[in-house]
Amino acid sequence: MSASGIKHIKDKVEKLITAYNLKSSQLEELKLENESLLTKISSLEGKLNGDSESSRKNELLRKKVESLVKELDDCIELASE
């Protein structure tokens, strides 16, 4: 094999290695971005679930307070008779 043939092969191998390294670093960047997005989604889902659960708890508390106020009104009405 001639020196120019070996140089040609060496150049191709170097180009392939460079391309591989570039793609590998891009892949790592995409993996990090993906993990970040998954974390954000998980956080948002937790927040949404927490908000809906909190809203449900607030609704139950509101109903309980309304019920207690009604009972109190009934007691006041009975006491004033």
pLDDT 10s digits, 13-69: 999 998 888 888 888 899 999 999 988 888 887 777 777 777 788 888 889 999 888
**Can you give the pTM of this predicted structure?**
0.50
Specify the higher pLDDT residue, 77 or 49.
Answer: 77
User: Could you tell me the pLDDT band of residue 10, with boundaries at 50, 70 and 90?
Assistant: very high
The pair of three-digit structure tokens given for residue 59, joined into one six-digit string: 């609704």
Q: Which residue is it, tokens 């995409």? A: 30
Q: Which residue is it, tokens 């207690």? A: 68
